[in-house]
Amino acid sequence: MEKTGMMLDVREVLVSSEEIQDKVRELGERITRDYRDEKPLLVGILNGSVVVLSDLMRHIDLPCEIAFMAVSSYGAGTTTSGVVRILKDLDRDITGRHVLIVEDIVDTGLTLSHLRRSLLSRGAETLEVCALLSKPSRREVDLEIKYLGFEVPDEFVVGYGIDYAGSYRNLPDVCVLKPEVFEKDTGPPG
């Protein structure tokens, strides 16, 4: 089929929208079983997690709440401390709550391991991670991702919530862009 629109910038579809939808349904069903009789709080990390969070929550057949945080890492590549700056904090107390962090992609794992410690120190009863994607070859810290969608190779990906320079979040598939898309810059970030 001939490519049109944003797909003209795509070199390769790594995970198709059908595969994502099947996996997100399966994760939602597992979460429903694991949290039965509880009211989990899904914490989405902005902006990348909004697409996966909104699909995932519709497959969780339990009363659940959502909340959001935004973070930025201190100068990627210049630190291994894993300290992240909180740009937008949670709007509620999480003492005693069953918190499930929802993230788009785990790379070094530094962002999530910092967030995990931070949320546990606020008294969350349990804290687990759900991530659509993981790049295991890039991991710098040990981090359990209890609910994982897909492992991907060390390539810069976009789509299904994940951006390049603010764009491509609305692609339904997870994709790798053509090199010429980055040519005006210095190459893919990261």
Give contact residues for ligand 5GP (rule: CB under 6 A). 48, 73, 103-111, 156-158, 162-164, 190
Helical axes 50-57 vs 17-34, angle rounded to 10°: 60
Q: Could you tell me the two tokens for 41?
A: 């709080």
Closer of 28 and 48 to ligand 5GP (Cβ): 48
163 is a catalytic site residue:
no
Question: What is the CB neighbour count within 10 angstroms for residue 171?
Answer: 23
Q: For residues 105 and 133, give the distance between their C-alpha atoms in angstroms, rounded to a whole number.
A: 5
Q: How far is the CB of 182 from ligand 5GP (least distance, A)?
A: 12
Q: How far is the CB of 94 from ligand 5GP (least distance, A)?
A: 20
Catalytic-labelled residue, pool 37, 93, 104, 107: 107
Q: How far is the CB of 25 from ligand 5GP (least distance, A)?
A: 23
Closer of 45 and 60 to ligand 5GP (Cβ): 45
Q: For residues 1 and 74, give the distance between their C-alpha atoms in angstroms, rounded to a whole number.
A: 43
Amino acid at 81: S
Q: For residues 170 and 173, give the distance between their C-alpha atoms in angstroms, rounded to a whole number.
A: 9
Cis peptide before 170 (omega within 30 of 0): no
Closer of 35 and 99 to ligand 5GP (Cβ): 99
Q: How far is the CB of 183 from ligand 5GP (least distance, A)?
A: 17
Closer of 123 and 189 to ligand 5GP (Cβ): 189
Integer Rg of the chain from CA: 17
Active site residues per annotation = 107
